[in-house]
Every structure is written in structure tokens, then in C-alpha cells.
Amino acid sequence: MSSVSRKYFGTNGIRGVPGKDLSLEFVSEISQSIATYLGNSKPVLVGHDVRNSSPALSKTVLSGVLSAGSDANAAGLAPTPAHQYAVRTLGYSGGIIVTASHNPPQYNGIKLVGPDGVEVQRESESEVESIYSDRRYNRADWQSVGKLGTETRVVENYIRGIMSQVNIPKISERKFTIVLDCGNGAQVVTAPYLCERLGCKVITVNGQADGNFPGRGPEPTPQVLRDLADAVRSYSADLGVAYDGDGDRSLFCDENGVIYWGDRTGSMLVDHLLTSKGGGLVATTVSTSSLVGVVAAKHGSRVIWTTVGSVDVSRAMINNNAALGLEENGGFFYGPHIPVRDGAMTTALVLEALAYKKVSFSKAIGELQTFYQKKSKFECPDEKKKQVMAILESESTEHGKIDRTDGLKIWVDDKSWILLRPSGTEPLIRVFAESDNEQMLESMYRKYESMVQDAIKSS
């Protein structure tokens, strides 16, 4: 008998503030529920990020898994994609990763991955929630309690996995100088060592793991990466890269310190990978630049447009056998490695792309068609979102073709669109606009900006 369960999993796992809405009792029992869902044929991998509360929470997770009668191995600190790759390649029934990705320091969370290392489907999260709500989780007695082990191979396994996907002699030949802004996050234990082994001279910024994220905070956006851009220029580096707190996202800057959103770097990678390694579909979200479609079409490939969320991209890749995936916020997914976003894998691929193209970063990016973009957000209480979107929809219908994959994507002409989307995690309406014509972008954006503001006011 299953009751209607409360939702605990959000867009990207369970998130909250420890001691407030993420109590040890809850973490322990939800971990028991996850272990019950995963079954006990193989151990569960338990890893974490750099947050101050992560060691305590991961011990609670371990305790929950063992109490459900499953074996568990403690993997310690590593980037989320390193834990995911370990689950996939080292024989685990699944993994529980204690992380709140790019959220502020007080937050933490739980990410559940299946045996393939990819976040489980939404239905599986509901199954875990119902096991928890109905208290149907396994309770082991003293004889059947799980065995606790340690997993020490995560970092080396990850670095080797990435190195097996790229042309190392070709990259090493270029003797790149690269600045890595780890943002005090989990890539501090992996990315610098990977780049050294790819023959790069490595300079780090915010290179100490620190759960207070004192450098520039755990979320990389072009606005907070001035130190990275300055370091790239003063060391005459070939490129720079900034990771988010748990190391799955990466934003790049060129040799002049110009920082690019993920869809522009991602399109450069799609071009490189479709040229050097051949076909395959590309999955991305509806908020990504049309540029990726232009690049894919050049190679006779095609794009699958998904709802916004990294899990949605991963699942679209798996369901459609797509080799490549990307997000505008700096997520790049390389299927032959693992179809999840991965900051260090992306770094290796960017180095390889520059080595193959034999040009500077700015030149490689400059070869792509120019699209102008604008992104913004407007405060809107959660309870108003539905009404606001209804007003916007009724006012938008005469303006162009509407795509309803996620929010409202209004195509004003075949190269100009505006996306109005209620945030899934915050009280915000997000607006993305793009056009190949700068004036068109400005006028389109101004019109919709006031439409959104009026709709929020009148709701």
C-alpha cells in the first residue's frame, strides 16, 4: 500500500540546510530508503564535495545504508562526475553523493545515481520517496548489517578514464598554459593533476578546498570570474577555466580573458567532436543557443531539445543514443566517457579541440556564427508563477511560433527567440533571448521585459 508521498527530490537531488531542513534523522532514513531501492547485490558508493557539513552528512548516509543491510564504500572528497564515473566502472549498485553543487555554503544535499552512474529517473525518485514515507525501508538486525569499506580509486580512475578519451600526444605537443579556477571546490583534487598529465603548465586560482568558498563563491558566472581573466592575461596563458562547487560545470575564457557561456564553448566542442570522431546526435535544453543547431547541421547531425535540467539532458542522451550533450550554464556531457556533465572531461576536450584546430581559443570561438544573447531574471512568488505564465501565453500567441517544451519559447523569426520560464528551484521567472541581429534582440527583449514585469504586477 503506497500513500501519496511528499516530494523531497528537486531538479537536482535533495537540497537543504543541515540542522534546519536537512536533519540527520532524515538523511539517515532517506539513505536507508535509497539502499532499499538499490538492493543489496553490490555495495553502494558514498562520496562527497568540499562543504563543511559534507563529512558529517556522508557518515550519516553511510550509517543509513549499512543499517538497511547493504554494504557501503566511503569514497571521500571528489568531484561529482568522478564519483559518478566510479559507480559506473568500479562495480556499484548505485551511489549517494553528498553535495549542493553551486548553492551557497550553508546548503547541502543528496544526489542519487544508478548503477550506470547517471542520476536516476524521476519515477525512481518517487519510488524512494514512497519507501521513505511508508517507512518500508529495510532494517537490518545485528547479523545482517552491511559491511563498511573504503574506495580509494575514485580520483585516479577518473583521471585515467578522461585521459583514455583524448589524444594525449597531440595535446602535449601544444604545451598549453592553462589557468584553473577551482572556486575552492571539488575539482582541486583532480583537474590540476589531469592537466599536468596532459602536458600543460598549470596555474591555479582559488585552488584550496574550502567549504566557505571564500574565493568567488561556488557558482561560476562571467560576472564573478575577473580573477581568472586577470590571471590568464598576466601569465599569458592559452586559456582559463572555472568550475562550480562540485566540479561538473565549467566556463572557459580565451587567451584575452574573454569569458564565454557554455553554449558557445559547447558548440565549438560539438564542431570538433563531430569532425574528429564522427556522427551522433546532440542533446541540449531549450535555453541553449541556436548556434548548436547550426553547427550540428553542418555535420549532418541534429539536436534533441529538452526541458531545462542536467538530468533531462542525460536521459535524452541515453534514450536517443546521443553522444554529446550541453547546457548554456557550462554543462558539457561526453557520452563515450559518461553521459553526465563533467568539468574535467570538458577541459580535456577543449584542449584537444584547440590542438586539432591549431588555433588560439579566441580564433576557434570566432569561427562560429555570432548570436547575440540576453539573460535576466524577475522575482515572482511561486504561487503567482502559474497565473503569470498564463498571462504571458495569452499575450504572446500573435507574436510568433511557440515551443512549449519548457516554459514559453517564442520564435519571433527563424533566428530570433525569447524564452520565458518559471524557475523550478527559486521564486523567479527567467528570461533568455537570442537573435543573430543585435537590434532585433534589443527591441524583442525590451518588449518582453515590460510584458513580464506587468504580468507579475497584475497577478
* Residues annotated as part of the active site: 101
Q: Kindly state the smallest distance separating residue 244's Cβ from Mg ion, in Å.
A: 4
Q: Which is nearer to Mg ion, 341 or 409 (CB)?
A: 341
Q: Where do we find the cell 598549470?
A: 202
Asked whether the beta carbons of 28 and 57 are under 8 A apart, the reply is no
Question: Which range of residues in 19-27, 94-102, 118-126, 324-332 is near Mg ion by CB under 5 A?
Answer: 94-102
Task: Assess 312 for contact with Mg ion (CB under 5 A).
Answer: no
- Measure CA 208 to chain center: 21
- For Mg ion, the closer of residues 119 and 254 by Cβ is 119
Q: How far is the CB of 34 from Mg ion (least distance, A)?
A: 20
User: Around Cβ 264, how many Cβ atoms within 10 Å?
Assistant: 19
CB of 208 to Mg ion, least distance (A): 19
Orientation angle between helical segments 122-133 and 24-38, nearest 10 degrees: 120
Residue number of the CB atom closest to Mg ion: 101
* Grid cell in block for residue 151: 574506495
Which residue stretch of 45-53, 184-192, 236-244, 310-318 sits at the interface with Mg ion (rule: CB under 5 A)?
A: 236-244
CA-based nearest residue to 404, from 414, 392, 387, 416: 392
Residue among 248 and 406 whose Cβ is closer to Mg ion: 248
Does the footprint of Mg ion cover residue 246 (CB under 5 A)? Answer: yes
Judge whether 22 and 51 are in contact, CB under 8 Å. no
Binding footprint of Mg ion, residue count (CB under 5 A): 4
H or E segment and range at residue 251: strand 250-253
Q: Exactly one of 127, 248, 312, 342 binds Mg ion (CB under 5 A); which one? A: 248
Cβ contacts of residue 293 below 8 Å, gap of 6+?
Answer: 302, 303
Which are the contacts of 348, defined by CB distance < 8 A and separation ≥ 6?
Answer: 162, 163, 165, 166, 171, 194, 198
Contact 192, 348 (CB under 8 A): no
Nearest CB to Mg ion, comparing residues 63 and 329: 329
Residues 333-362 contacting Mg ion, CB under 5 A = none
Instruction: Choose between 84 and 157: whose C-beta lies nearer to Mg ion.
Output: 84
Q: Using the rule CB under 5 A, give the single segment among 155-163, 243-251, 255-263, 307-315 that binds Mg ion.
A: 243-251
Can residue 84 be called a binding residue for Mg ion (CB under 5 A)?
A: no
Residues with Cβ within 8 Å of residue 421, at least 6 apart in sequence: 287, 308, 406, 407, 408, 429, 430, 431, 432
Nearest distance, CB of residue 245 and Mg ion, angstroms: 6
Q: Does 101 bind Mg ion (CB under 5 A)?
A: yes
Which range of residues in 147-155, 176-184, 239-247, 437-445 is near Mg ion by CB under 5 A?
239-247
**Nearest CB to Mg ion, comparing residues 101 and 206:** 101
**Choices 69-77, 95-103, 161-169, 408-416 (CB under 5 A): range interacting with Mg ion:** 95-103
Q: Does 244 bind Mg ion (CB under 5 A)?
A: yes
Least Å distance between CB 85 and Mg ion? 15
Amino acid letter, 267? S
Q: Is 18 helix (H, G, I), strand (E, B) or coil?
A: strand
Binding site for Mg ion (CB under 5 A): 101, 244, 246, 248
